[in-house]
Copies of this chain bind each other. A is one copy, B any other.
Amino acid sequence: MPVATTPVADITSLAEHRLLHETVISQLRDLIEQGDLAPETKLNERVLAEKLGTSRTPLREAIKFLASEGLVELLPNRGAVVAALKPEKMKEVFVVLGALEALAGDLACRNATEADIAEIRALHYHMLAHHARGELAPYFRYNQQIHIKIMECAGNATLAQVYSGLNAHVKRARYMANLSRERWDKAVKEHEEMLDALVKRDGTRLQMLLRDHLANKLVLVMEALALPRAGPAR
């Protein structure tokens, strides 16, 4: 099927003059994070390139980029697959994320401005509102934003970047999590405590709270991973 070779007139030209392979990176990342490309899906270069409206070259470059992040795995002479969501891997990731968030919390307690804390408080109340209404998706969104904001307050771009890369793995699992009301309430309570520690700028306590919070999140993800499909990869 000879696809039209019209070179331009795509979305990128509107927004800004970004490079094609950069847009391909973010498109691919989104597809993976949103679960449109399920774990262990084989990435057929020809098909994907066509789907993203590009050629194989920028696609392959994007795949290499994401492979370095660990979102896809390279199989020599056999292309690439979306990284599996193995429970063992999730455990590892959460342990590291716990340490990174703890560090961020500690730094944030020192560096956050009052305005930063006010913003986190605002996000917190938004989150509470959605929790009260039982709206899971927006709850997750504000939840994420709070954690990201804490990261920003830490004022360490490298930390934020590493965190973001690892978090991408986990995000995929979060969409399948079906919170029980009990666990949900507990998570919210933990957030209350976290906000309190931040306001009091008690870095040591916030560290501990964040580590525990992440550990609890791991439990949730593990449960979600165990339930939905038969076995989540070998």
- List A residues at the B interface (Cβ < 8 Å): 17-19, 21-22, 57, 60-62, 64-70, 74, 76-77, 89, 92-93, 95-96, 99-100, 102-103, 107, 156-159, 161-162, 165-166
Contact = CB atoms under 8 A, between A and B. Distances in A.
A96 B92 contact: no
Contact of A64 (B64, B76, B103): B64
Number of copies: 2
A136 to B, nearest CB: 27
Given A62-B64, A68-B69, A77-B19, A158 B166 contact: yes
7 contacts: A18-B76, A68-B165, A70-B158, A95-B107, A96-B159, A96-B162, A162-B166
Given A61-B61, A69-B68, A93 B19 contact: no
A128 B169 CA distance: 41
Contacts of A67: 65, 68
Contacts of A21: 64
Contact of A100 (B18, B70, B99, B165): B99
A156 B95 contact: yes
Given A19-B76, A65-B67, A96-B158, 4 more contacts: A61-B64, A89-B158, A92-B157, A158-B166
A103 B92 contact: no
A64 B58 CA distance: 10
